[in-house]
Amino acid sequence: MSWFVFALVATLGWGFADLFYKMGTDENDKHSHLKIAVWVGFVMGIAAMVLLPFSESGFNIKNLLVNALKYTPASLAYIISMVVGYAGLRYLEVSIVSPIQNASGAFSMIAMMIFFLITGTINDDLGDFSVLNIIGTAIIIIGVIALAIVENRLSRKEADEGAKTDEEKKKNKKYQFGALALLFPLVYCLFDTIGTAADGIILDEETGLGLGEIDILILYGLTFFVAGIICYLFMLARTKKPYNPFKIKEIRTKGVAACFEEFGQIFYVFAMASKPMLAAPMVASYCIVSVVLSRIFLKEKLKKAQYACVIAVIAGIVILGINEGLGEM
- The domains of the chain are located at 3-327
pLDDT of residue 173: 46
Provide the whole-model pTM.
0.83
At a CB cut-off of 8 Å and minimum separation 6, what does 45 contact? 221, 222, 224, 225, 228
User: H-type helices in the chain, by residue range?
Assistant: 3-23, 32-51, 61-88, 94-101, 104-119, 122-126, 131-160, 166-175, 178-181, 183-203, 213-239, 248-250, 256-274, 276-284, 286-297, 304-327
Percent above pLDDT 70 for the chain: 79
* CB-neighbour burial class of residue 122 (10 A; exposed 0-12, middle 13-18, buried 19+): middle
**Cβ atoms within 10 Å, residue 26:** 13
Q: Which residues of 280-310 are buried (b: 16+ CB within 10 A; e: fewer)?
A: bbbbbbbbbbbbbbbbeeeebebeeebeebb
* CB-neighbour burial class of residue 245 (10 A; exposed 0-12, middle 13-18, buried 19+): middle
Count of residues in the chain: 329
pLDDT of residue 112: 85
Per-residue pLDDT tens digits of the chain, which is 329 residues long? 688 999 999 999 999 998 999 899 887 888 999 999 999 999 999 999 999 888 876 667 777 777 777 788 888 898 999 888 888 777 666 556 666 676 787 788 888 888 877 877 666 656 667 788 888 888 988 888 887 778 767 666 665 664 455 555 455 545 445 555 667 777 888 898 899 888 888 877 665 666 788 989 999 999 999 999 999 999 999 999 999 999 999 999 999 999 999 999 999 999 988 888 888 888 888 888 888 888 888 887 778 888 888 889 889 898 888 887 655 54
Grouping H, G, I as helix, E, B as strand and the rest as coil, residue 24 is: coil
In this structure, are residues 112 and 277 in contact, taking their beta carbons and an 8 Å threshold? yes
At a CB cut-off of 8 Å and minimum separation 6, what does 28 contact? none
pLDDT of residue 21: 92
pLDDT of residue 280: 87
Instruction: Convert the pLDDT of each residue in 172-211 to its tens digit.
Output: 545 445 555 667 777 888 898 899 888 888 877 665 666 7
DSSP result, 186-207: HHHHHHHHHHHHHHHHHHSTTT
Nearest to 71 by CA among 193, 296, 222: 222
pLDDT of residue 126: 60
pLDDT of residue 273: 86
CA distance 152 to 182: 8
At a CB cut-off of 8 Å and minimum separation 6, what does 271 contact? 3, 4, 6, 7, 10, 279, 282, 283
CA distance 252 to 23: 9
